[in-house]
Amino acid sequence: MKMKSITCSNWLKLSVFMTLLLATSAGNFYQDAVTTFGDQRVKIAEGGRLLSLSLDKSSGSGFQSKNEYLFGRFDMQLKLVPGNSAGTVTTFYLSSVGQGHDEIDFEFLGNASGQPYTLHTNVYSQGKGDKEQQFKLWFDPTTFFHTYTMVWNSQRIIFLVDNIPIRVYNNHEAIGVPFPKNQPMRVYCSFWNADDWATQGGQVKTDWANAPFTVYYRNFNVKGDVCVPGSPCGSGSKSTDSLNTQEWETQGLDGKGRNRIRWVQQKHMIYNYCADRKRYPQGLPVECKRPRF
């Protein structure tokens, strides 16, 4: 079936709708987050609705959620550094702790002026990652806030941008592929310098004449199961889904979602580990032979 073209105005309307939707149920950074590094480079404003992270030559900055979660839907709106952001990395991800940790990543790799950001996604389970997919966004992520979402349940992980699915990572434990489903995770966000690898493989370095750099986060929203201290996570969890719909527990892609993800991956994906035969000369990972969506 041939997809209809999606105009810029339609994308903008959808972005505005998602902004309004999240604004009605967003969390409060004063209540929900703690600084992990960077001290005064982490600033909260607008009564707890907005948080900024800054990066200078001395240090970056970051924060994490106070709560741990075992499954849920995690939304965050970001506005990235305009102009020359080469060498910088902005993150929004879930992670457990320890050597065999689980992790679900959004990483935004900066670039030189006039060139688009690279959106890097990855999934770790039991300390093993190497499940990368990368995209060039179809909009400028520096002029307006856009919504980035991770849906995590026991069957799959869905990455969305402005509620448009860009990636699905399915549970393939049945064929021996580990999947993150037993370790509770916190939300982490950070902003730091990685000019040894982040931009064009480290060929373009950070221009510190433009520092300090600042990124903005707002409308942090979680619908999921909070792990209660002192109780086994899962049996002793409480839901943050005020409507108790818990759609995220079984969320997948319908026909419309599959059409949208095909469009994104055909037009905007720039790297897929499942297509990198030079990296895997002995054969692609076993999960790459299964249906993607």
Q: How many CB atoms neighbour CB 241 within 10 A? A: 18
Q: Exactly one of 103, 247, 249, 287 is catalytic; which is it?
A: 103
Active site residue 287: no
Distances (CA, A) of 286 to 148, 175, 214: 28, 8, 41
CA distance 147 to 169: 19
All residues at 6 or more sequence positions from 35 whose CB lies less than 8 Å from its CB, including other chains: 42, 61, 62, 63
CB distance 159 to 121 below 8 Å: yes
Residue with tokens 């409060």: 28
Q: Any idea how long the chain is? A: 293
Q: Exactly one of 46, 68, 107, 287 is catalytic; which is it?
A: 107
CA distance 216 to 46: 12
CB distance 226 to 69 below 8 Å: yes
Burial of 246 (0-12, 13-18, 19+ CB in 10 A): middle
Beta bridge partners of 44: 51
**What phi and psi, each to the nearest 5 degrees, are found at residue 90?**
-110, 135
CA distance 279 to 281: 6
Q: Are strands 186-193 and 146-152 parallel, antiparallel or unpaired?
A: unpaired
- Secondary element (H or E) of residue 51: strand 50-55
Active site residue 103: yes
Evaluated on CA atoms 186, 147, 263, 254, the torsion sign reads positive
Indicate which residues carry an active-site annotation. 103, 107
